[in-house]
């Protein structure tokens, strides 16, 4: 995938003294996931390849798409889970296990690629319209990454309403609630809808590594202004997080136990070695391993040439 913007330098905030380090603000970069579809690629960042097991985070929109809207043809994945979270619009998922699933805001699609799966994503009825969301990947730990592929749709998730905030527990456990989604390592993902009635404090899992992205609005995170297009890296060892805004805002907090394994990301594959990536690429090109996606009106994606030197930062979606 093409990287349309150069990485800019990170900005380490230095202000008042904190018991824990100040948040670190890292610039997202623009990435093209399809013709004319440019997204903010927040993770991986060259300074932050992973946050817990989260290895990929694209923020797309808000945009109003002309018909036919979003169209991402069949493409393969290995070694990861895709986590699709919409804030606006609808998306139709099809995969090589035979699932066809419409997803709406507040609902969750989790696809466990394991050894290999293929899927397509598109605007229903080729209609276009409003689209705003997050596409995330979770790296599977070594013991789980070759498992059978699976798909789950959760039509509703736990939502916690507190003063000034509604929190949807997308993955893992937060605010006393647990997401029904299957996870293979300690993880958290929480969507926070903040209103403008002042600050609020969240309790974090001390041993987790955390980061957040602002999807909408402007949020003061421990007093530092965070807007869309930044990765706000929070590190580990943080037990409380202070958030404030003076207009409604939307935040995705992600985290988990530090992953502790070196991964390679190339195109839509998460692997450990260049040989594994070359094999996955060859299997996709030859129509092996990943199965067929039925019902998508268009061609499958073709993998780029593989130089044998994978780097973090690939990904169709």
Tell me, by CB under 5 A, how many residues bind Mn ion: 1
If the CB atoms of residues 23 and 79 are measured against Mn ion, the closer one turns out to be 79
If the CB atoms of residues 123 and 317 are measured against Mn ion, the closer one turns out to be 317
If the CB atoms of residues 109 and 317 are measured against Mn ion, the closer one turns out to be 317
Tokens of 12: 């380490």
Tokens of 51: 């946050």
Per the CB < 8 A criterion, the answer to whether 92 and 129 are in contact is: no
If the CB atoms of residues 185 and 317 are measured against Mn ion, the closer one turns out to be 317
- Report the alpha-carbon distance of residue 137 to residue 315 in Å, rounded: 10
- Closest CA relative to residue 283, chosen from 34, 121, 77: 77
If the CB atoms of residues 107 and 317 are measured against Mn ion, the closer one turns out to be 317
Nearest residue relative to Mn ion (C-beta): 317
Phi, psi of 256, rounded to the nearest 5 degrees: 160, 180
| Contact call for residue 81 and Mn ion (CB under 5 A) | no
What is the nearest approach in angstroms of Mn ion to the Cβ of residue 122? 12
Site for Mn ion in 233-252 (CB under 5 A): none
What is the nearest approach in angstroms of Mn ion to the Cβ of residue 137? 8
What is the nearest approach in angstroms of Mn ion to the Cβ of residue 315? 8
What is the nearest approach in angstroms of Mn ion to the Cβ of residue 247? 33
If the CB atoms of residues 149 and 202 are measured against Mn ion, the closer one turns out to be 149
| Contact call for residue 109 and Mn ion (CB under 5 A) | no
Helix H or strand E encompassing 103: strand 100-103
Per the CB < 8 A criterion, the answer to whether 48 and 233 are in contact is: yes
Taking residues 184 to 203 in sequence order and writing x for each that binds Mn ion by CB under 5 A, - otherwise, the string is --------------------
Q: How far apart are the first and last CA of the chain?
A: 10
Per the CB < 8 A criterion, the answer to whether 280 and 265 are in contact is: no
Stretch that binds Mn ion, among 59-67, 125-133, 165-173, 309-317 (CB under 5 A): 309-317
What is the nearest approach in angstroms of Mn ion to the Cβ of residue 77? 6
The contacts of residue 276 (CB under 8 Å, 6+ apart) are 78, 264, 269
What is the nearest approach in angstroms of Mn ion to the Cβ of residue 76? 8
Q: Dihedral of the CA atoms 55, 202, 223, 197 (nearest 10)?
A: 120
| Contact call for residue 96 and Mn ion (CB under 5 A) | no
Per the CB < 8 A criterion, the answer to whether 157 and 170 are in contact is: yes
Tokens of 180: 């029904």
If the CB atoms of residues 179 and 317 are measured against Mn ion, the closer one turns out to be 317
| Contact call for residue 48 and Mn ion (CB under 5 A) | no
- Report the alpha-carbon distance of residue 256 to residue 261 in Å, rounded: 13
If the CB atoms of residues 113 and 264 are measured against Mn ion, the closer one turns out to be 113
Tokens of 296: 């998508």
- Report the alpha-carbon distance of residue 69 to residue 234 in Å, rounded: 35
| Contact call for residue 317 and Mn ion (CB under 5 A) | yes
| Contact call for residue 78 and Mn ion (CB under 5 A) | no
Q: Which residues of this chain interact with Mn ion, rule CB under 5 A?
A: 317
């Amino acid at each position: 995938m093409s990287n349309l913007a150069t990485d800019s330098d990170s900005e380490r905030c230095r202000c008042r003294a904190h018991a824990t380090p100040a948040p670190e603000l890292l610039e997202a970069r623009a990435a093209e996931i399809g013709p004319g579809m440019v997204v903010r690629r927040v993770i991986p960042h060259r300074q932050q390849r992973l946050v817990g097991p989260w290895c990929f985070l694209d923020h797309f929109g808000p945009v109003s798409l002309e018909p036919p809207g979003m169209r991402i043809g069949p493409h393969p994945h290995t070694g990861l889970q895709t986590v699709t979270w919409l804030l606006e619009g609808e998306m139709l998922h099809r995969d090589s296990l035979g699932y066809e699933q419409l997803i709406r805001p507040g609902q969750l699609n989790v696809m466990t690629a394991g050894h290999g799966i293929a899927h397509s994503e598109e605007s229903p009825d080729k209609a276009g319209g409003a689209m705003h969301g997050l596409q995330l990947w979770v790296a599977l730990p070594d013991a789980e990454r070759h498992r059978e592929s699976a798909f789950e749709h959760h039509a509703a998730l736990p939502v916690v309403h507190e003063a000034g905030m509604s929190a949807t527990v997308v993955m893992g456990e937060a605010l006393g609630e647990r997401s029904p989604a299957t996870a293979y390592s300690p993880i958290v993902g929480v969507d926070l809808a903040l209103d403008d009635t002042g600050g609020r404090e969240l309790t974090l899992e001390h041993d987790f590594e955390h980061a957040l992205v602002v999807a909408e609005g402007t949020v003061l995170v421990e007093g530092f202004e965070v807007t869309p297009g930044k990765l706000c890296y929070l590190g580990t060892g943080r037990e409380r997080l202070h958030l404030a805004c003076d207009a409604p805002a939307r935040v995705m907090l992600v985290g988990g136990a530090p992953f502790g394994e070196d991964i390679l990301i190339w195109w839509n594959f998460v692997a450990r070695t260049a040989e594994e990536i070359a094999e996955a690429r060859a299997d996709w090109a030859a129509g092996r391993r990943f199965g067929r996606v039925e019902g998508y009106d268009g061609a499958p994606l073709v993998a780029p040439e593989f130089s044998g030197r994978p780097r973090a930062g690939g990904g169709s979606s």
